[in-house]
Structure 1
Amino acid sequence: MNKPLRAIRLVALLCAAALVSAGCWDRREIEERTSVVAVAIDKSAEHPGMILLTVQIPIPIRIAGSGLGSGGGGGGGKSVKTMSATGWTVVDAFQNLQKRLNQELFYGHTRIIAIGEDVAKSGVSQILDPFRRDPQIRRLLWPIVVQGEGRQLLEATPTLEQIPTVFIMTLIENGARKGSIPDVNLGDFYIDLSTGSREPYLNYVQVNKDDIKWSGVALFLDDRMIGKLDERDTWRVMRVREKKDGGNIVFPFKGNSDHLATINTELVSSGKSITFRDGKPVVRIMVRLESNLLEKTFDADLMNPETISQLERDAVRYLEENTANLVRKLQREYKTDTLGIGSYIKAHHPAEWKRMDWKKQFPETDIRINYEVRLRNTGMELR
């Protein structure tokens, strides 16, 4: 074999050996990491000006069915551990927490960021900034505002799930699937903050010991929480902004508060019409719903077409009156475009949008929302 050919083969062999031996130079085995499934951020009561960071860590050997404990799991005690640390910034708090652990914290499995109400009211851009920059963090995780302190959500132990975060995840996922709870993830929140044409909101929960309850949404103006909407007002926003079904509607029959009807809703269509009068937008929104009668507390002949028409008119009256109250609340009290009307103007009337200061004009804008309800099924009647 001549020397040039031998040299070429030697170089090729060395290159192949280098590739094989290099592998993933920065890899970390999963057993060498401590997974964090939820993070809570609060203001520190003991150290003013500092952040209190809390994480929730699953303990695999204590999770039933893991196969790591005797009899397939359940080594006794809680299946998760919560740990807290303080810091001047979120990254500083994470670093202080890492000093107390023998393994590297891993955030690729984090699904919940619980934000204390006081932190949300002070502004969330800075506390969410490191989550935006960290490639481990998924944009599909859910930021949630918690009444009181965010760590209450991580410390609750609902009996229906071994891992509390799984309970919260399924609560939101099932509600989002039914169209009754907004599916607002971290990526959605970033987008709403950056568009300038609609204001963001986040799911809002209340925690009472081990009881976790979804209680509507927290409203934001820019990155600061300025108020909240209850469940029913949230459903009205969802029908207009997200074109979702929302929850059931309970309304009086013929204006009698003792005669109540309950219907579910299925969104058929939702359309917006924007015109301009003296340079000011005039907004008209029509929401069409189909429904089924779920319950009534009065006697009525449901075989009579006039009774069905009366139920439909009463449902429309209830929805329009309460939605008008919601619009007044958003315009006069909060001055925040939670309905996302600005995004529609920006997309369909770009020339007018460029001349507008929407934050100033929204509270004065003429907005009217109308409904059309069709009752398609009344269920079984006893005769």
Structure 2
Amino acid sequence: MLFGVLTLFVFTTACWDQDSLKDARLVNATAIDITTKGEIRQTLEIVNDYENRSVNEIHSGMGRSIRQSSDRIRDRVTGNIRFFKYGLVLFSNKLAQNDIYPYLDVLYRNPDNPTSHVKIAIVDGEAGDLLYQRKVGSIQIGEFITEKIKSLEELCVFPEMALESLLSPMLDPGQDFTLPYLVKDGEEISARGIALFHEQRFTGSLDAEQGPLYVILSGKWGKTARFVKKVNDGPLNDPRNYVTYEVNTDKIKRKLSVRVSDDSQIDVNLNVVLPVTIVEYAMNQLQEKDTIEQLNRKLSEAMTVDAEKIIRTLQQSGCDSLGIGRHLIAHHSELWKKLNWNTEYSQVHFHPEVTVKVIGSGVLN
């Protein structure tokens, strides 16, 4: 038997299917725009490593599909283009107003394209313009934007999202999604806020200051969230009238419940308890119990109003990113079949309540 096995090895063809990385041109970032004629313009940041130094090139190609535009870039560069597993995909807001899935299909369909760690964001304006900046300081542009998104996810300014995790809510009829929203301001790349989607289309946005509270309301928060609120009467430019506080995210309590009445009216109660630490308050006096109780009341009222504004924007944009439709599908399936969710979602009665509890006030107190 052993002799027979060894004989078979002699006639067995070895597998020579190799994909050598030394010949590959790694794509660190992709930007996709749409022209006035409806053509796709794809811009790639290609990174080359030469003897312990890294150099990036920016190339653009036009086409009627993502594959065609990338093939036209391949015609002009040497080597085999491969996509980096910690890469980045940017869409212009103009393109995102259409159904974005057709522009992502090839990324999900091709097994050579990584998805698990690839960040995705919307750009206010031309997405390719960000890549043509090439560098921010000494950092290559794709790496800079990717790390910027990750750090703002940790601060709850952006919702945490990767190309892989986007697919499920994008195809779910009872769940919408949100993405980071960037803007190029001169030579700076800043957080524009959060891009809201309904049925795979960009329909509205929240600003950067609303981001942390939205992320908390959505139930998927990062390591910390920081807020600044005016709590005292007086001039807007007097820092003594403001308090800065951080949320202890590991102690947040959130409860969302959906109730359907006999007449099919849908009510959503969303209660959030935020334990916070005061990190800046020039008025001090935080050793007094009455001051703490007053701050708790003022901050709770202000953040509840902020939550109401955020939910109102979600409804106006048709963005059910809190997954109310998914809850109805799971628990009220017969009602869901009768609903036209595109119109009924805006009629849902939301009742948000944010309770702030100061649990720390720094070493001064």
Instruction: Tell me whether the two structures share a fold, i.e. TM-score over 0.5.
Output: yes
Instruction: Name 1:232's counterpart in structure 2.
Output: 209
2:313 counterpart (329, 334, 342): 329
Q: Which amino acid aligns with 2:327?
A: Y
For residues 34-61 of structure 1, what are the alpha-carbon distances to aligned partners after superposition, in whole Å with 9 as ceiling and x for unaligned?
111111111235xx22211111111211
Tell me the distance in 2 between the aligned counterparts of 1:85 and 1:209: 25
Correspondence for 1:166: 143
Question: For structure 1, which runs of at least 5 residues remain unmatched after alignment?
Answer: 62-67
Task: After TM superposition, list the pairs within 5 Å mapping 1:132-281 onto structure 2.
Answer: 132-140=108-116, 141-244=118-221, 247-254=225-232, 259-267=241-249, 268-277=252-261, 278-281=263-266
Whether 1:85 aligns to 2:61 is yes
Q: CA deviation at 1:135?
A: 0.6
Pick the aligned partner of 1:22 from 10, 14, 24. 14
- In the aligned structure 2, how far is the partner of 1:29 from the partner of 1:271? 51
Structure (1 or 2) with the larger CA radius of gyration: 1
Amino acid at match of 1:280: Q
1:201–1:217 CA contact under 8 A, matched in 2:
yes
Q: Give the percent of matched residue pairs that are identical in Structure 1 and Structure 2.
A: 21
Q: Is 1:359 matched up with 2:342?
A: yes
- The residue identity in structure 2 corresponding to 1:365 is V
What residue is the counterpart of 2:42 in the other structure?
Answer: 53
| 3-state DSSP of counterpart to 1:102 | coil
Structure 1 residues 250-274: Cα deviation after superposition (integer angstroms, max 9, x where no partner): 2222555551111111241100122
Structure 2 gaps, min length 5: none
Q: Closer, same or farther in 2 for the Cα pair 1:36/1:17, shift >3 Å? A: farther
Q: CA-to-partner distance for each residue in 1:223-280, whole Å, 9 max, x for gaps?
A: 2111211112222221111342663222222555551111111241100122122112
CA contact (8 A) 1:51 1:89 kept: yes
Shift of 1:160: 4.5
1:64 counterpart residue number? none
TM-score, normalization by structure 1: 0.86
Larger deviation, residues 310-319 vs 156-165: 156-165
Give the CA deviation at 1:354: 3.9
Matching residue's letter, 2:257: S
Relative contact order: is structure 1 or structure 2 higher (C-alpha 8 Å, sep ≥ 6)?
Answer: 2
Q: Compute the displacement of 1:292 (Å).
A: 0.7
Moved more, 120-129 or 333-342: 333-342
What is the one-letter code of the residue matched to 2:265? K
| CA distance in 2: counterparts of 1:128 and 1:165, whole angstroms | 19
Single out whichever of 205-214 and 81-90 deviates more from structure 2: 205-214
**1:120 corresponds to which of 96, 109, 118:** 96
Tell me if structure 2 keeps the 8 A contact 1:235–1:247: yes
Aligned counterparts of 1:83 and 1:55: Cα–Cα separation in 2: 5
Within 2, Cα distance between the matches of 1:296 and 1:215? 27
1:85 shift after superposition: 1.0
When the two chains are superposed, the root-mean-square deviation of aligned CA atoms in Å is 2.3
Question: Taking structure 1 as reference, are residues 255 and 346 closer, same or farther at Cα in structure 2, changes over 3 Å only?
Answer: farther
CA contact (8 A) 1:243 1:269 kept: no
